[in-house]
Amino acid sequence: MQRETTRDAALTAQLPQTYEPRNPGLPLDMDWVMSAQANRSAIERRAGTIGARRSVKKEFQAAWLLKAISMIDLTTLAGDDTEGRVRRLCAKAKDPVRHDLLEAMGMAPITTGAVCVYHEMVPAAVAALAGTGVPVAAVSTGFPAGLSPYRLRIAEIGESVAAGAREIDIVISRRHVLTGDWQALYDEVREMRAECGEAHIKTILATGELGSLRNVARASYVCMMAGADFIKTSTGKESVNATLPVSLVMMRAIRDYHERTGIKIGYKPAGGISKAKDALTYLALVKEELGDAWLSPHLFRFGASSLLLDIERQLEHFVTGHYSAGYRHAMG
């Protein structure tokens, strides 16, 4: 019974990678943008309840953790990245959970949602993932600061797409948000979206550097209007990365955009999410704020690397009753 329940509850973790229809964007609606407000105390109070109120145990927890794995953008963005490291990461993305654990739970093999790398590592990742259906995401546009010359940022997108990246994670110019130049932000993201061609675009807001939750809300709307397929919290390089209050603001902007336009926009929290219990909290928030449709890799991703290690350790505990050392679940 335990194996059957886990298998049935986690079935969607085995679905092939698919995408929602592209977001065509809208003309910039400044009335809509400026109407966005954020009540910090209410947002923090709501965010503070989600982890305390929502708890899943035993086979249900295992099922949710398997689902979380299917939504991870397995990431390496280090200055000492090598093609060998990227190939090992891709091997883990193709086969993220030990087969003996999957067999004990009655599960077929699963994959992560994507592999995310710097542009220089895109060819190695594309070659390593050929035929698997796991897409390569490239960080672009002068990641992480976004302060390289504009023409080079645009060119970098095209180079990554030509190299085989199916998703492009761009960074916005934070100064446009901080100075309230929403037209400049819209024009920038619109041009970057066009340069992506058929590749899906995730706009990184670097929310820890935007000054206020209201700015986060307004930047979210502008990026969606400009054609973003995903909005993403952080580069992972800021001092403050993904948080539940920021996630709540961004998810509610996504919900509002969908209610007004019928277009589903994806969401990606990134940076600092390293524990299985944190992944469960984020998934509960997604379910409550956006609904079950967003609990799939084409509308929700975690930007993470060490998260997978902790999830796999939790799955081993579920199967065996014991926690194992981290080296038994190597990342590569």
Count of structural domains, the chain: 1
pLDDT of residue 231: 98
pLDDT of residue 96: 95
Give per-residue pLDDT as tens, 105-115. Answer: 999 999 999 99
Count CB neighbours of 155 within 10 A.
14
CATH number, domain of 227, equals 3.20.20.70
Closest listed residue to residue 203, CA positions, set 158, 258, 139, 152: 139
Count CB neighbours of 292 within 10 A.
9
pLDDT of residue 6: 45
Range of the domain at 79: 2-329
Question: Catalytic residues, which ones?
Answer: 169, 232, 268
Give per-residue pLDDT as tens, 82-123. Answer: 999 999 999 999 999 999 999 999 999 999 999 999 999 999
pLDDT of residue 17: 53
Mean pLDDT of 111-137: 97
Give per-residue pLDDT as tens, 138-182. Answer: 999 999 999 999 999 999 999 999 999 999 999 999 999 999 999
pLDDT band at 1 (very low <50, low <70, confident <90, very high): very low
